[in-house]
Structure formats: structure tokens, C-alpha cells
Amino acid sequence: MRYGVIGLGAIAPFFLEAIERCPDSTLAAVCDLDPAKTEALAKEGTAAFTDYRQLLAADVCDAVIITLPNHVHAEAAIAALDAGVAVCCEKPLAITSVDANRMAEAAERNGKTLFTAFHRRYNRHLIALREALPEDRSQITKLTVRYHENILEHIGGDGWYLDPERCGGGCLIDNGPNALDMAHALVGGLSLVGARLGDVRSGIEYVAELDLVSHDGVPVRVELDWALTTGETKDVVAELADGSVLRADMLEGFTAFKSSLQHEYDGILADFRDQVAARRTVCGTGVEIVGLVEDAYAAGREESGRRRSKLPARTKAVRLLFHTSENRGMSLSQWGTRCIPAGQIHELVTTTDRPRAAGDRIDAVGFLGFVEFQEGTVIALGDEVRLADDRLIGTVAGFDECHFPNHYNIVIASDRLWTATSAGLEPGDDIRFVEG
């Protein structure tokens, strides 16, 4: 099997190493928008490209592995299938069911394999649990899958994980597919019962809870958390009718960061090769899981759209500022929320930059001034900042701590740089923070 790997970011090395270990497999080509990432392999003689269409046109691969940001999976996979090449695509197969179905149609149309790389189903502890579970799955009274981590410890690349347009959401679309596939591997097909999204900041959920039921009636709960302070928990707990409890910890015995991935990615490649050899077209749970994630977003958003999590917080302008700067050099702190007691004073800074990840630099800023919070509140990313006449200044992008503990700079993403002059502020005016 001659492989092409498209996208040489954080996860690609696990595939590259698995290809090296896999018999009768060679790395024929690589592709990344950034030529620096393909340079070392190109020197060793691997064909290197910056455009996957050129890689496909070179006709040197039997299969491609797609390790691109989520929003590019569909277009790259369809181009590969239409070029007559089998596809092993990272999860999630796509962001929308429409795209996942287009990918499946392309696989059928071309008679080529479309496979989703759900690595956890090859984890040795998951396999042991599957074997230990009673054959009669109705003896399982509850299955709980947990996927808890600090996303900031996992992201590579250019911050696309924290951009809902390119990622498709937050922890639900990122870790949900692996967690759902693990449940599927243990109890079979699933239907969604309900979903809740929590800790939503700038349209990205950091917590999600899903209730599902297997087609055999086993209740399944999936708990996702992107906001652990540090570390990770990836496990499954099966409660049985006789009162016993079986547990599989995906990370047990794998002490180094991501070290369980080595054997899991070997498993992906072996399974993919079997599917290609058997001439299967659309394989596994990839398309179904895109649908479940989509349903969970719809259910979770309907639920959170019905409820407000907090009252608007009123503030009073106590010192106005009138200047802008193009080179301020502020830095986004790691915090997505800040608790602010009544009576505290903080500074409001608008920016046309789009800082997302901790440490992102903020240069283009306009200063509104200092405000005193009239009631205690929790300010969160995505909160709207509105003037007394309801005009929108922008939404909270985060916090800069260069003057803390004196005060936070509350950084407001805006389409222009506002100052007290352009906002028409007078000392004592109201400015409100409203849940976004």
C-alpha cells in the first residue's frame, strides 16, 4: 500500500510511524500548506506537495490519510475518492451530515474505501472490556464514557480548534466522535435521548453531556470536558445487573503524553488495510456519528437557547479614556471566565484583532475607560457589551492581566476601535455585559 498523508500537524506523526511499522506499506507522498513541514521527508525522497490536488494528480498513492483541520476533511476526501484513491480520514469524518453523505456517495460512486480513524476502538483496555462484558448486553444497566482534558494541552496548528467555523464546535465535535465510537464498539448502534452543552464561551462549548440508548436498550452516558485544569481522563465504566462494575481506563500503563496512541494508530492502519483488501466502500460508524453529533448540537442548543444562565451585569463608567493604539502588545490570558465581585473596577479595551488562544498578542486597541461593576457577576468569553441605548460595542474576547491585581483589561472583540469619544460616553454612564 502506497500512502499519502495530507496535513502534517500534531497527529500526523502517529500515522507516519504506523506506516513505517506496517508490513508492505510505504509513505509515497506528503502534503501540507506549509512547505517547512514536508521538507525533512522530501529530503529523504518522499514526494512533497503543498496542494493535495497536485498530490492526487501525481498518481503515486493507493490511499491517502487525511489529517487536516475538520472543515477541510470533506473536500479533500471527495477529491481523493474521485481520483480513485482509498481514504482513511481523521475523526470527525465531517462537520455536517450533508458533507458526510457527500463523502459516502463519492466512495460508492468510485467503489473506493472511506474509513474514519477512530483510534480508541483499538485501545487494548477497551478491547479487554469488550471481551469481559456479558454477551447478553441487556445485562449492562449503564455505560458511561468520559473524555476529560484541557484542550490547550492538545491543540497544535494555528488555533483552528478554537474557531467554530473550522472545528465545527468545541468538545462535542472534537472528543464526542471518539467517545461515541467507543460506546458503539461496546454496545452497538445508538440513538440520542438528550444533550446539554455547558460552559459555552464565544460559541464554543467546553462541557457536553449526552444521554443515549443502544438499540438493545442499554442506557449510555457520554461526558465530555475540554476545561480540566490539567491532565486527562479517558475511560469507560459499565455497570451490570448483578451489581458489579467493569472499568477500562484508556490511559492505564501509558504514562507518557499520548503514548497510548502508538498501538491505537497501528490498529487503525491494520483495520483500514483489511477494509481496502475486502473492497468495502463506506466503513464503520463515521457517517452515523456525524449525525449523532449534529443531533446532539441541535438538542443542546435548543436546551441552552431556552435558558439564560445569568442576569445582565450593569457597570458604571468611572474614568473615561479617549485613545487608540496600533501596537499595544497585550496578551490574552488563559482564562475563559472571570468572577467579578460588586464594586470592582476594570478597564474596557476594544480590539479589531482576533485573539483566541492563551498568549495571543493584541495590538490594535481602542480604550473606553474604567467601569465599576454594580453587581457581582461572571464575565465569560462571548458576552455582549452594550451601551445604555443598547448599541453593541462587541463581545468579550478574553482578559489581559498586565495590570492585574490592580485591574483586568477586559478585551472586547469589535469591528472597529471604540473610545469613550466614539461611544459618546459620559462619566457615570451605564455599560452592560449581557450573556452572548
Question: Which spans of this chain sit near ligand NAD (rule: CB under 6 A)?
Answer: 6-12, 31-34, 37, 52, 67-70, 72, 90-91, 154, 156-157, 160
Helix axes 171-187, 286-306, angle to 10 degrees: 130
Nearest to ligand NAD of 52, 373 (CB atom): 52
Nearest to ligand NAD of 89, 380 (CB atom): 89
Smallest distance, Å, CB 34 to ligand NAD? Answer: 5
- Cell numbers representing residue 183 in the block: 460506546
Smallest distance, Å, CB 25 to ligand NAD? Answer: 20
- Please provide the distance, in angstroms rounded to a whole number, between the alpha carbons at the two ends of the chain: 50
Smallest distance, Å, CB 110 to ligand NAD? Answer: 21
Nearest to ligand NAD of 32, 249 (CB atom): 32
Smallest distance, Å, CB 228 to ligand NAD? Answer: 15
Smallest distance, Å, CB 107 to ligand NAD? Answer: 18
Nearest to ligand NAD of 66, 349 (CB atom): 66
- Contact between residue 203 and residue 215 where contact means Cβ atoms under 8 Å apart: no
Smallest distance, Å, CB 13 to ligand NAD? Answer: 9
Nearest to ligand NAD of 9, 219 (CB atom): 9
Q: Which residue is nearest to ligand NAD (CB)?
A: 9
Nearest to ligand NAD of 124, 407 (CB atom): 124
Nearest to ligand NAD of 31, 212 (CB atom): 31
- Cell numbers representing residue 370 in the block: 474604567
Nearest to ligand NAD of 171, 313 (CB atom): 171
- The answer for residues whose C-beta is within 8 angstroms of residue 248's C-beta and 6 or more apart is 123, 125, 126, 128, 129, 235, 236
- The answer for residues whose C-beta is within 8 angstroms of residue 74's C-beta and 6 or more apart is 94, 95, 99, 100, 102, 103
Smallest distance, Å, CB 275 to ligand NAD? Answer: 19
Smallest distance, Å, CB 395 to ligand NAD? Answer: 25
Does 177 sit behind a cis peptide bond, omega within 30 degrees of 0 on the bond before it? no
Nearest to ligand NAD of 221, 258 (CB atom): 258
Nearest to ligand NAD of 7, 300 (CB atom): 7
> Measured between alpha carbons, how far is 72 from 234 in angstroms, rounded to an integer?
27
Smallest distance, Å, CB 379 to ligand NAD? Answer: 29
> Measured between alpha carbons, how far is 153 from 176 in angstroms, rounded to an integer?
18
